[in-house]
Amino acid sequence: MVAQTETRRYVELIAHLMRRAGFGATHSEIRDYAEAGYEAIVERLINPPDTSWAGNYLVR
């Protein structure tokens, strides 16, 4: 039971992070992020792997 509670809290923490970062996430995305780990998620939010698509959407 403790493991389930900890897992649930971890998933809730990730969902909270994504909401606060302004992105939100689907249940599926949150599960994928949970497998990656919290630090990896933060790193990906700060330094996204592919930003080539953003050129057309940047406000200058």
Domain extents in the chain = 2-50
Whole-structure pTM over 0.75, yes or no?
A: no
Q: Cβ distance 14 to 30 under 8 Å?
A: yes
Strand ranges in 1-60 using DSSP code E only, listed in sequence order: none
Cα–Cα dist 53/42, whole Å: 20
Cα–Cα dist 19/11, whole Å: 12
pLDDT in tens, 16-46: 999 998 888 999 999 888 888 889 989 988 8
Q: Cβ distance 42 to 34 under 8 Å?
A: no
Supply the Cα-derived Rg of the chain in whole angstroms: 14
